[in-house]
Amino acid sequence: MGSEFTGETHIRHRKLMNPAFTAQPLRTFYPVFRRVAAQLTQRWKDRLQEGDLSAETQTLDVSRGLTNATLDIIGEGAVDSADSNLHPPPGAILFAQSWQFIPESILHFVEYLPARQFVRFRQFLTVGKRLGKDLIDNKAASTDSKQKSRDILSILVDANRSQDAENRLSLDEILSQVTTTACTLTWLMYELAHHPEDQTRIRNEVNAKRAKFSANGQDDFTITDLETLPFTNACIKEVLRFHPISPWVTRESAIDDVIPLAEPIVTTSGELISQIEIASGTPVLVSTCAYNRLKSVWGEDADKWNPSRFLNPAMQEGQIPVGLYSNVLTFSGGVAGCIGWRFALLEMQSTVVELIENFELSPPPGQEKIEMLRVPVGAIMAPMVKGKFHERTQMPLGVSSLR
């Protein structure tokens, strides 16, 4: 969830993208988050009605619905597109979603392969890029009108036009933004399904909050309501810590420098060192997974799921602030940290509240012992069933409707 750009390119991107991720646009996007979450709820209820009605709990691939919901949120909140992945209209253009998991080097290589399936894939990429260009052209034209859209792409295009030529983003740079929130939500659903006591605690917290604001005539959760759900937010923090979407963060040293070590280490040559000297231009790979499970930071149970750690003030004593949110490294940190972390967080809060209020999650009936793995796919860690990699990304869970 960090940035893959460095140096002047990163500075240019940050300057142009900052206006799209301030507090005001987030308040504008919030109704989109809630509306899409409600649509996902209805989609799951429809799926349950289409299945075995005699079964109290049915198995759904929750990753599919969460991915489609996230795409709808990005479509409406980011580019003001009404096309729905949860309820696609007949004849809609279907896009292969696998492109976002494929390294750029492989995509370039695909251009030259003559096989029929690769020809089709190139056509998907060509159509996608053309539609993206049309969206940007339409946004550029609409910035002169009195009724401007306030989706992310409109804000970016507006900011881009105000820059001099050398500071503007290219078409490829504007089209390169992707989301990883669905994967994080998928792992959260998995943990709640396997920790029913935590799921029940979230549901009780959400129901109590709804009862309180409903008594005052309020219809739905506000952003403030979501931010004041202690255990719900503790679970979101824990899934960000326990299941980071990217296994590492890459950086490059801008100057000759010396990195002090928290604890001395023994090198392969047997030398005991307490610092590492690096030259300018040295690539540095920081393990998100290793830091997020460091026992010296998170305690002896760092390798276990435990949302309550974030409700323990004593845990935070003596911690060195790292990262952008709650001391986890998942959103990276510093000037190159994930600019959209607040967007992702609010999307997760909105979706979790909606789903846990309406459904009970459990291990899939008859498949309680299946083993889920975090498999590196491109730059992210995707959920896959052990022994069923050929079935690609999936998260089968038992789902039963509560309403």
**What's the confidence (pLDDT) of residue 282?**
95
Q: Is the pLDDT of residue 155 over 80?
A: no
pLDDT band at residue 121, thresholds of 50, 70 and 90?
low
Neighbours of 120 (CB within 10 A): 11
Of 48-57, 246-255, 258-267, 270-279, the one with minimum mean pLDDT is 48-57
183 Cβ neighbours under 8 A, 6+ residues apart? 63, 245, 380, 381, 382, 383
pLDDT of residue 96: 45
Share of the chain above pLDDT 90, in %: 45
Residue 237: name the closest of 187, 197, 193 by CA.
Answer: 187
Question: Minimum mean pLDDT among 188-192, 220-224, 267-271, 369-373: which range?
Answer: 369-373
Q: Does pLDDT of 323 surpass 90?
A: no
Can you give the pLDDT at residue 177? 40
Cα distances (angstroms) measured from residue 39 to each of 158, 253, 339: 30, 45, 27
pLDDT at residue 95, as a whole number: 44
What is the reported pLDDT for 167?
44
pLDDT at 315 over 60: yes
Confidence label for 130 from pLDDT (cuts 50, 70 and 90) = low
Q: What is the pLDDT of residue 92?
A: 42
**What residues form DSSP beta bridges with 247?**
none
CATH code of the domain occupying 7-246+293-401: 1.10.630.10
Q: Examine the pLDDT at 362 and tell me if it is beyond 60.
A: yes
pLDDT at position 52: 79
- Interior/surface letters 336-353, b for 16+ CB within 10 angstroms, e for the rest: bbbbbbbbbbbbbbbbbb
pLDDT tens, residue by residue, 193-233: 999 999 999 999 999 999 999 999 999 999 999 999 999 99
pLDDT digits over 273-286, tens only? 999 999 999 999 99
Cα–Cα dist 108/206, whole Å: 47
Q: Which residue would you say has higher pLDDT here, 131 or 232?
A: 232
pLDDT mean over 24-31: 80
Averaged pLDDT, 133-141 = 62
pLDDT confidence of residue 246: 87
DSSP 170: P
Pick the more confident residue, 277 or 113.
277
Residue-range domain boundaries for the chain: 7-246+293-401, 247-285
Mean pLDDT of all residues in 81-104:
50
pLDDT mean across residues, the chain: 79
- Reported pTM: 0.76
Strand duo 257-266 + 272-278: pairing: antiparallel
- The CA-based angle 206-209-210, given to 5 degrees, is 85
Distance separating alpha carbons of residues 339 and 308, to the nearest angstrom: 27
Q: What is the pLDDT of residue 272?
A: 96
Tens-digit pLDDT profile for residues 166-190: 444 444 443 334 447 889 999 999 9
